[in-house]
Structure 1
């Protein structure tokens, strides 16, 4: 694993993944990812993110974040074997902007599911957060019913902290079971 932000935008390499900075050329990848109903199931009840939103809001925000919060951000995940776009991983500033913690996130294409890639990327970012960034805490949230994502978090070393309930204008199935927060602390 390499933990240096290189000239080509690579932030981390794992056995099978390369995490690199997004560029404007990744627009179509992001649109395709967010258009898959299964990928978006626990986020929007399967509704795609409009391409104009990805182009005009999401991608510009991701690109601006690299300068605003050095070391943190959202990175494209590509296969080291063939360079195929697989999805993304993130260490985002958490709500409240505590500089000693980050929020872990990921979203992978369906073709990448079930191969351990989410766990591989999540583990690498947890190590990066503690070893390179010196953070004290990494946290993550998902819907309580999102069993696959919960398993990834547990395999990456995070533990369940709490279940909580939010109010949504347009709740999706499973919302009634709440959201879950996971964490791992540096000493762990």
Structure 2
């Protein structure tokens, strides 16, 4: 599993010590505002195990993100295959940070590193990003990393019940534009 480094961050494999801060993030209503239900500690642990296995299986996935200066775990960033049943296919970039890490440029910094890995190492031709129509913070990160949105691509997530989390937007970036 490749480790990525930026000026301030390390994107690395998941450690047992990440479980408590990861579970706390997934139990934070503000962090989960655009993601759906809060997760239990057991659900968070299961996701860590799944992230590590998927990464080892295909060579990419969700890295744990830590601040280099302190070694503090602050969330995740990475790439994943678009889930079956969506109205498009491809590889999706994503990130999730603890609330105390918001507003410091960490999501943008991590995402740029992940994009470089996707295009330079995995030889991807395009990377997608999806979020709820109301998640303006993530959409701002998508624009900062060079992604663009065509409103014709917007969709209702078929895996989400009717409500504010169902309308989604789709952003794209090609290798040529990176």
With the shorter chain as reference, the TM-score category is 0.7 to 0.9
> Which digits, 9 at most, give the CA deviation of each residue in 1:112-165, with x for residues without a partner?
101111111111111111112111111110001111110000101111132111
Q: Name the residue aligned to 1:95.
A: 83
Structure 1: gaps of 5 or more residues: 6-10
Which of 71, 74, 98 is matched with 1:83 structurally? 71
Which of 61, 65, 69 is matched with 1:73 structurally? 61
- Tell me how large the CA RMSD over aligned residues is: 2.0
Q: Name the residue aligned to 2:116.
A: 127
Taking a change above 3 Å as real, the CA distance of residues 78 and 169 of structure 1, as seen in their structure-2 partners, is closer
> Which digits, 9 at most, give the CA deviation of each residue in 1:31-51, with x for residues without a partner?
11101110000111xx42011
- In the TM superposition, 1:13-32 aligns within 5 A as 13-32=5-24
Secondary structure of the structure 1 residue equivalent to 2:75: strand
Are the equivalent residues in 1 in contact too, given 2:34–2:165 (CA < 8 A)? Answer: no
Q: Name the residue aligned to 2:95.
A: 106
1:150 matches 2:133: no
Are the equivalent residues in 1 in contact too, given 2:9–2:66 (CA < 8 A)? Answer: yes
Which of 125, 147, 154 is matched with 1:163 structurally? 154
- Provide the C-alpha distance between the structure 2 equivalents of 1:105 and 1:78, rounded to a whole number of angstroms: 16
- Provide the C-alpha distance between the structure 2 equivalents of 1:157 and 1:79, rounded to a whole number of angstroms: 24
Secondary structure of the structure 2 residue equivalent to 1:32: helix
1:138 matches 2:103: no
Structure 2: gaps of 5 or more residues: none
Shift of 1:23: 2.7
Shift of 1:93: 2.1
Are the equivalent residues in 1 in contact too, given 2:12–2:64 (CA < 8 A)? Answer: yes
1:34 matches 2:26: yes
Secondary structure of the structure 1 residue equivalent to 2:94: strand
Are the equivalent residues in 2 in contact too, given 1:123–1:157 (CA < 8 A)? Answer: no
Count of equivalent residues: 171
- Provide the C-alpha distance between the structure 2 equivalents of 1:166 and 1:180, rounded to a whole number of angstroms: 9
Shift of 1:102: 2.1
